[in-house]
């Protein structure tokens, strides 16, 4: 990916819309700030990293997470209920032979509560249009070259579910504690555009 | 996946319209996004399915698969032979 994508034009358009709504008395700046702050409170890839580290160290949690992620999240003090309504979460697990990567081709659906605000490239037309068509090439551009026999699934979150990738546990981490493992997990690893 | 380009809001990505996929999971039921966007007072509630499409079917090349989340009225049943 070029890395040149900018969200500035969209940001400017959103700001103009906000100003119109404020001028018209529909909403106050303070209300906008408060609702944004509430939505983003605690939203960080640290959450996704903690989930991955727990799954790597607790086989029972891993199974519950892959079977019914919404039911498993409270075990690590998290939930998908931070927005207007609880969202369904599906966690997909990378293995030695399978790789998963996330996209929203229609817009920018993303598990904000678990991964924080999405990176600008995730919302770019280039990523959204190309990753469903040639994921192997797109991942290679991100620096992730997968073996030819790895089965790739691209998850296009086009409805109400949100997705998160459970990356493969890095080699050589047998003696690591859960917090030490969590510190290794990156946002890109949880999207599926990088290994951990 | 039904073909066509319905008027108004719709959450079926264009690249799967008219394509044959395989249902891998029923996710539960949600209000139909088309009717929510149109301001329908009591939107239809429909099952949403995870549907897997092969890259070969979608693009004519590639060994991967793409899963898309589709409301029930977006899809129609096809026989094993694809007709």
**Pair (A32, A56) in one structural domain:** no
A124 catalytic residue (yes or no): no
**Pair (A109, A143) in one structural domain:** yes
A107 catalytic residue (yes or no): yes
User: Does some domain include residue A162?
Assistant: yes
**Pair (A91, A172) in one structural domain:** yes
- pLDDT of chain A, 196 residues: tens digit per residue: 444 456 677 788 988 999 999 999 999 999 888 888 877 888 899 999 999 999 999 999 999 999 999 999 999 999 998 767 789 999 999 999 999 999 999 999 999 999 999 999 999 999 999 999 999 999 999 999 999 999 999 999 999 999 999 999 999 999 999 999 999 999 999 999 999 9
**Pair (A58, A150) in one structural domain:** yes
Q: Which of A146, A117, A127 is nearest to A48 (CA)?
A: A117
Q: Of A41, A56, A72, which marks where a domain is finished?
A: A41
User: Does some domain include residue B50?
Assistant: yes
A158 catalytic residue (yes or no): no
Of B15, B64, B71, the CB nearest to A153: B64
B5: confidence class by pLDDT, cuts 50, 70, 90: confident
Residues 6+ apart with CB under 8 A from A48: A111, A114, A115, A164, A185, A187, A190
CB burial of A50-65 (b: ≥16 within 10 Å; e: otherwise) equals bbbbbbbbeeebbebb
CA distance A156 to chain B (A): 5
Whole-angstrom distance, CA of residue A162 vs CA of residue B48: 13
**Pair (A79, A24) in one structural domain:** no
**Pair (A53, A128) in one structural domain:** yes
CA distance B59 to chain A (A): 7
**Pair (A30, A91) in one structural domain:** no
Would the CB atoms of A133 and B12 count as touching at under 8 Å? no
SS3 (DSSP) at A140: helix
Residue A4 is predicted with a pLDDT of 47
**Pair (A32, A112) in one structural domain:** no
User: Does some domain include residue A7?
Assistant: yes
Residue B56 is predicted with a pLDDT of 97
User: Does some domain include residue A86?
Assistant: yes
Of B11, B62, B71, the CB nearest to A106: B11
Would the CB atoms of A159 and B69 count as touching at under 8 Å? yes
Domain containing A150 equals 43-191
User: Does some domain include residue A63?
Assistant: yes
**Pair (A161, A187) in one structural domain:** yes
Query: How many Cβ contacts (< 8 angstroms) between chains A and B?
Result: 63
User: Does some domain include residue B80?
Assistant: no
Number of domains in chain A: 2
**Pair (A65, A136) in one structural domain:** yes
Would the CB atoms of A159 and B64 count as touching at under 8 Å? no
Number of domains in chain B: 1
Residue A34 is predicted with a pLDDT of 86
Residues 6+ apart with CB under 8 A from A184: A49, A170, A173, A176, A196
User: Does some domain include residue B41?
Assistant: yes
A161 catalytic residue (yes or no): no
Q: Which residues of A touch B50 (CB under 8 A)?
A: 90, 161
CATH code for the domain in which residue B55 is found? 2.30.30.50
Of B33, B63, B68, the CB nearest to A156: B68
- Measure the N-to-C terminal CA separation of chain A; round to a whole number of Å: 19
DSSP B14: G
**Pair (A10, A63) in one structural domain:** no
Q: What are the helix (H) ranges across A41-155?
A: 45-57, 59-67, 69-72, 112-115, 125-130, 135-141
User: Does some domain include residue A77?
Assistant: yes
Q: Name the strand (E) or helix (H) holding A90.
A: strand A89-93
**Pair (A71, A24) in one structural domain:** no
- Measure the N-to-C terminal CA separation of chain B; round to a whole number of Å: 12
pLDDT, tens digit, 9 for 90 and up, residues B17-37: 999 999 999 999 999 999 999
Mutate to test the interface with B, among A159, A161, A162, A163 (most CBs of B within 10 A): A159
Quickly tell me which residue has 């605000």 as its tokens: A117
pLDDT, tens digit, 9 for 90 and up, residues B35-75: 999 999 999 999 999 999 999 999 999 999 999 999 999 99
Domain containing B24 equals 14-74
Q: Which residues of A touch B62 (CB under 8 A)?
A: 133-134, 136
Would the CB atoms of A153 and B69 count as touching at under 8 Å? no
User: Does some domain include residue B6?
Assistant: no
User: Does some domain include residue A196?
Assistant: no
CA distance B64 to chain A (A): 5
What is the full DSSP assignment across A11-37? Answer: HHHHHHHHHHHHHTTSS-HHHHHHHHH
Separate counts of helices (H) and strands (E) for chain B: 2, 3
Of B13, B27, B28, the CB nearest to A106: B13
User: Does some domain include residue A9?
Assistant: yes
CATH code for the domain in which residue A160 is found? 3.90.330.10
User: Does some domain include residue A34?
Assistant: yes
User: Does some domain include residue B59?
Assistant: yes
Whole-angstrom distance, CA of residue A102 vs CA of residue A191: 6
């Amino acid at each position: 990916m070029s890395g040149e994508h900018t969200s500035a034009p969209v940001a400017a358009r959103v700001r103009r819309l906000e100003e119109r709504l404020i001028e018209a008395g529909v909403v106050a700046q303070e209300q906008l700030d408060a609702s944004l702050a509430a939505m983003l409170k605690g939203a960080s890839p640290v959450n996704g990293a903690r989930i991955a580290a727990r799954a790597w160290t607790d086989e029972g949690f891993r199974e519950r997470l892959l079977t019914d992620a919404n039911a498993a999240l409270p075990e690590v003090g998290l939930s998908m209920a931070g927005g207007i309504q609880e969202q369904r979460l599906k966690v997909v697990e990378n293995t030695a032979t399978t790789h998963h990567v996330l996209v929203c081709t229609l817009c920018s659906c993303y598990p904000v509560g678990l991964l924080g605000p999405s990176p600008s490239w995730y919302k770019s037309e280039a990523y959204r249009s190309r990753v469903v068509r040639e994921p192997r090439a797109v991942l290679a551009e991100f620096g992730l070259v997968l073996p030819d026999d790895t089965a790739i699934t691209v998850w296009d979150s086009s409805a109400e579910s949100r997705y998160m990738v459970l990356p493969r546990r890095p080699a050589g981490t047998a003696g690591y504690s859960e917090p030490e493992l969590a510190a290794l997990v990156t946002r890109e690893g949880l999207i599926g555009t990088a290994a951990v | 996946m039904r073909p066509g380009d319905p008027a108004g809001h719709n959450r079926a990505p264009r690249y799967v319209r008219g394509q044959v996929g395989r249902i891998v999971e029923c996710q539960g039921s949600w209000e139909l996004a088309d009717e929510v966007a149109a301001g329908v007072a009591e939107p239809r509630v429909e099952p949403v399915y995870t549907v897997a499409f092969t890259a070969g079917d979608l693009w004519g090349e590639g060994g991967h698969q793409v899963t898309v989340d589709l409301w029930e009225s977006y899809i129609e049943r096809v026989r094993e032979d694809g007709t």
